[in-house]
Protein backbone atom coordinates (compact mmCIF):
# COMPACT_ATOMS: atom_id res chain seq x y z
CA UNK A 1 0.00 0.00 0.00
CA UNK A 2 1.15 3.53 -0.77
CA UNK A 3 0.80 5.88 2.22
CA UNK A 4 1.23 9.65 1.73
CA UNK A 5 3.50 11.19 4.38
CA UNK A 6 2.38 14.70 5.31
CA UNK A 7 4.90 17.22 6.58
CA UNK A 8 4.34 20.92 7.23
CA UNK A 9 4.88 23.55 9.92
CA UNK A 10 1.84 25.46 8.65
CA UNK A 11 -1.57 24.32 9.89
CA UNK A 12 -3.42 25.58 6.81
CA UNK A 13 -0.98 23.81 4.50
CA UNK A 14 -1.37 20.59 6.50
CA UNK A 15 -5.16 20.86 6.22
CA UNK A 16 -4.82 21.39 2.47
CA UNK A 17 -2.67 18.23 2.23
CA UNK A 18 -5.22 16.25 4.24
CA UNK A 19 -8.07 17.46 2.03
CA UNK A 20 -6.11 16.44 -1.05
CA UNK A 21 -5.22 12.98 0.27
CA UNK A 22 -8.79 12.37 1.37
CA UNK A 23 -9.65 12.01 -2.32
CA UNK A 24 -7.50 8.91 -2.84
CA UNK A 25 -5.56 7.62 0.19
CA UNK A 26 -6.67 4.78 2.50
CA UNK A 27 -4.18 5.88 5.17
CA UNK A 28 -2.05 8.99 5.74
CA UNK A 29 1.00 9.42 7.92
CA UNK A 30 1.28 12.77 9.70
CA UNK A 31 4.89 13.67 10.46
CA UNK A 32 5.47 15.40 13.78
CA UNK A 33 8.81 17.10 14.54
CA UNK A 34 9.96 19.14 17.54
CA UNK A 35 13.04 20.94 16.19
CA UNK A 36 15.16 19.01 18.70
CA UNK A 37 15.14 15.33 17.78
CA UNK A 38 15.35 16.55 14.18
CA UNK A 39 16.24 20.09 13.04
CA UNK A 40 12.83 20.78 11.46
CA UNK A 41 9.56 21.64 13.19
CA UNK A 42 6.00 20.67 12.31
CA UNK A 43 2.58 21.70 13.54
CA UNK A 44 1.97 21.77 17.29
CA UNK A 45 -0.28 19.44 19.28
CA UNK A 46 -2.83 22.25 19.60
CA UNK A 47 -2.86 22.77 15.83
CA UNK A 48 -3.13 19.03 15.23
CA UNK A 49 -6.30 18.92 17.34
CA UNK A 50 -7.84 21.69 15.18
CA UNK A 51 -7.45 19.80 11.91
CA UNK A 52 -10.38 18.13 10.16
CA UNK A 53 -9.10 14.63 9.42
CA UNK A 54 -11.39 12.32 7.47
CA UNK A 55 -8.80 9.76 6.37
CA UNK A 56 -7.49 6.98 8.66
CA UNK A 57 -4.18 8.25 10.01
CA UNK A 58 -1.08 7.48 12.01
CA UNK A 59 1.47 9.80 13.62
CA UNK A 60 5.20 9.48 12.95
CA UNK A 61 6.81 11.15 15.98
CA UNK A 62 10.27 12.55 15.32
CA UNK A 63 10.36 14.09 18.79
CA UNK A 64 12.26 13.72 22.06
CA UNK A 65 9.07 13.33 24.12
CA UNK A 66 6.59 11.04 22.37
CA UNK A 67 4.53 10.72 25.57
CA UNK A 68 3.22 14.27 25.00
CA UNK A 69 1.57 13.19 21.74
CA UNK A 70 -0.40 10.17 22.94
CA UNK A 71 -3.47 12.17 24.03
CA UNK A 72 -3.53 14.42 20.90
CA UNK A 73 -3.23 11.33 18.69
CA UNK A 74 -6.14 9.71 20.48
CA UNK A 75 -8.24 12.87 20.10
CA UNK A 76 -7.88 12.89 16.31
CA UNK A 77 -8.56 9.17 16.05
CA UNK A 78 -5.08 8.00 15.03
CA UNK A 79 -4.87 4.25 14.57
CA UNK A 80 -1.15 4.10 15.32
CA UNK A 81 1.70 6.05 16.89
CA UNK A 82 5.19 5.47 15.51
CA UNK A 83 8.05 6.62 17.76
CA UNK A 84 11.80 6.52 17.16
CA UNK A 85 13.95 3.84 18.74
CA UNK A 86 16.68 6.46 19.14
CA UNK A 87 14.68 8.44 21.72
CA UNK A 88 16.17 8.20 25.21
CA UNK A 89 13.00 7.20 27.03
CA UNK A 90 11.42 4.09 28.55
CA UNK A 91 10.20 2.45 25.35
CA UNK A 92 8.23 -0.29 27.11
CA UNK A 93 6.36 2.28 29.19
CA UNK A 94 5.58 4.30 26.06
CA UNK A 95 4.22 1.23 24.26
CA UNK A 96 2.03 0.44 27.27
CA UNK A 97 0.64 3.99 27.36
CA UNK A 98 -0.08 3.97 23.60
CA UNK A 99 -1.94 0.66 23.83
CA UNK A 100 -3.93 1.88 26.85
CA UNK A 101 -5.45 4.42 24.46
CA UNK A 102 -6.38 1.59 22.05
CA UNK A 103 -3.83 2.55 19.39
CA UNK A 104 -1.14 0.43 17.78
CA UNK A 105 2.51 1.07 18.62
CA UNK A 106 5.06 1.33 15.83
CA UNK A 107 8.77 2.01 16.03
CA UNK A 108 10.96 3.78 13.49
CA UNK A 109 14.68 3.20 12.91
CA UNK A 110 17.09 5.74 11.47
CA UNK A 111 19.34 4.46 8.65
CA UNK A 112 22.34 3.77 10.91
CA UNK A 113 20.43 2.13 13.80
CA UNK A 114 21.10 -1.59 14.19
CA UNK A 115 18.04 -3.86 14.13
CA UNK A 116 19.43 -5.81 17.11
CA UNK A 117 18.40 -2.86 19.30
CA UNK A 118 14.78 -3.86 18.63
CA UNK A 119 15.01 -7.15 20.54
CA UNK A 120 13.83 -5.86 23.98
CA UNK A 121 10.55 -4.53 22.53
CA UNK A 122 9.97 -6.41 19.28
CA UNK A 123 7.21 -8.67 20.62
CA UNK A 124 5.14 -5.63 21.69
CA UNK A 125 5.53 -3.66 18.44
CA UNK A 126 2.85 -3.69 15.71
CA UNK A 127 4.93 -2.09 12.93
CA UNK A 128 8.56 -1.32 12.14
CA UNK A 129 9.14 1.76 9.97
CA UNK A 130 12.56 1.80 8.31
CA UNK A 131 13.87 5.26 7.50
CA UNK A 132 15.71 5.35 4.16
CA UNK A 133 16.80 8.95 4.76
CA UNK A 134 18.00 10.83 7.81
CA UNK A 135 14.65 12.16 9.06
CA UNK A 136 13.31 15.67 9.20
CA UNK A 137 13.12 17.03 5.66
CA UNK A 138 11.12 16.51 2.47
CA UNK A 139 13.12 15.45 -0.56
CA UNK A 140 16.23 13.83 1.01
CA UNK A 141 18.18 11.27 -1.03
CA UNK A 142 17.41 7.55 -0.62
CA UNK A 143 20.03 5.47 1.24
CA UNK A 144 20.09 2.10 -0.59
CA UNK A 145 21.92 0.21 2.21
CA UNK A 146 18.67 0.33 4.19
CA UNK A 147 17.27 -2.34 1.85
CA UNK A 148 19.92 -4.80 3.10
CA UNK A 149 18.90 -3.99 6.67
CA UNK A 150 15.25 -4.75 5.85
CA UNK A 151 16.20 -8.07 4.24
CA UNK A 152 18.12 -9.05 7.37
CA UNK A 153 15.22 -7.99 9.59
CA UNK A 154 12.73 -10.05 7.59
CA UNK A 155 14.92 -13.14 7.89
CA UNK A 156 14.86 -12.82 11.70
CA UNK A 157 11.26 -11.60 12.16
CA UNK A 158 9.37 -12.62 8.98
CA UNK A 159 5.89 -12.06 10.40
CA UNK A 160 6.29 -8.47 11.61
CA UNK A 161 4.54 -5.71 9.68
CA UNK A 162 7.09 -3.45 7.95
CA UNK A 163 7.15 -0.13 6.12
CA UNK A 164 9.71 2.22 4.61
CA UNK A 165 9.83 6.01 4.56
CA UNK A 166 12.03 8.52 2.77
CA UNK A 167 13.46 9.08 -0.68
CA UNK A 168 11.01 6.88 -2.59
CA UNK A 169 10.82 7.77 -6.28
CA UNK A 170 9.56 6.19 -9.49
CA UNK A 171 13.14 5.11 -10.19
CA UNK A 172 13.49 2.96 -7.05
CA UNK A 173 9.97 1.91 -6.05
CA UNK A 174 10.07 -1.48 -7.81
CA UNK A 175 13.31 -2.44 -6.07
CA UNK A 176 11.73 -1.41 -2.75
CA UNK A 177 8.46 -3.21 -3.46
CA UNK A 178 10.21 -6.50 -4.20
CA UNK A 179 11.50 -6.73 -0.61
CA UNK A 180 7.93 -7.45 0.53
CA UNK A 181 7.06 -4.49 2.74
CA UNK A 182 3.49 -3.96 3.90
CA UNK A 183 3.49 -0.34 2.88
CA UNK A 184 5.61 2.43 1.43
CA UNK A 185 5.42 6.00 2.72
CA UNK A 186 5.92 8.70 0.10
CA UNK A 187 6.12 12.41 0.91
CA UNK A 188 7.44 14.98 -1.54
CA UNK A 189 7.08 12.79 -4.65
CA UNK A 190 3.30 12.91 -4.07
CA UNK A 191 2.56 16.06 -2.08
CA UNK A 192 4.96 18.34 -3.97
CA UNK A 193 3.95 17.10 -7.41
CA UNK A 194 1.73 19.19 -9.69
CA UNK A 195 -1.04 16.60 -9.39
CA UNK A 196 -0.83 14.62 -6.10
CA UNK A 197 -3.69 12.28 -7.00
CA UNK A 198 -2.13 11.41 -10.35
CA UNK A 199 1.27 10.86 -8.67
CA UNK A 200 -0.31 8.60 -6.04
CA UNK A 201 -2.13 6.53 -8.66
CA UNK A 202 1.04 6.19 -10.73
CA UNK A 203 3.01 4.93 -7.72
CA UNK A 204 0.17 2.52 -6.94
CA UNK A 205 0.24 1.17 -10.50
CA UNK A 206 4.03 0.79 -10.41
Annotated catalytic residue, options 124, 165, 182, 194: 165
Annotated catalytic residue, options 31, 90, 126, 148: 31
Q: Active-site residue 165, yes or no?
A: yes
User: What's the sign of the alpha-carbon dihedral 92, 97, 102, 103?
Assistant: negative
User: What's the sign of the alpha-carbon dihedral 122, 124, 127, 130?
Assistant: negative
Please state, in angstroms and rounded to a whole number, the distance separating the CA atoms of residues 28 and 156: 28
Q: Can you say how many angstroms the Cα of residue 97 is from the centroid of all Cα atoms in its chain?
A: 19
Name the maximum alpha-carbon separation found in the chain: 44
Enumerate the active-site residues: 31, 165
Amino acid sequence: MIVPALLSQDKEKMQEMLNTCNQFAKLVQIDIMDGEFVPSKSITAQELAQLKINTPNELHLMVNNPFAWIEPASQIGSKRIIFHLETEIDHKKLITEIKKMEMEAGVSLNPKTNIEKLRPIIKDIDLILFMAVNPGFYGAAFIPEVLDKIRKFKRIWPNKKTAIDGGVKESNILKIKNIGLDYICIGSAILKSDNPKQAFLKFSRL
